[in-house]
Amino acid sequence: MLEIVTPTSLSSLSNPIANTMEHLSLLDNNIPGNSTLITAVELERFVNLRSLALDFCDFTAEMARVLTDSNHVPLQRLSLLVHNASVMLKSLDNMPNDEHWKALSRKSSSLRVYLMVFDIKSEDML
């Protein structure tokens, strides 16, 4: 049975289940303000992730650092959803910088990053 994932339900997954998950998609444009479906601390438990999809504003420098840890398998796909509602409501202060991206690409040499963008003006993308 499929259920809606919330920060509470995700954190209630047992460590053995979290350790075996290879694909995690947490996209929801209805999360208010600075709320997020997963934190960097929670992401540490998902050591076998090969594919991750998040709201662009939820992917932080700390998450990039977690994904470069030696106990995590290399990430193959990172999908980031960019939409006007989250960019206007969420902080961009903790976004990964060039060093975080370089470390992530060294760890995950076959990483592909996909941006899914809608309802954003091109000048806002810059």
User: What pTM value is reported for the model?
Assistant: 0.84
Q: Are 39 and 60 in contact (CB under 8 A)?
A: no
Q: How many residues can be counted in the chain?
A: 126
pLDDT tens column, 36-95: 778 899 999 999 999 999 988 889 999 999 999 999 999 999 999 887 766 666 777 889
Which residues fall within 8 angstroms of residue 65, CB to CB, at 6 or more apart? Answer: 40, 100, 103
CA contacts within 13 A on the Cβ side of 86:
23
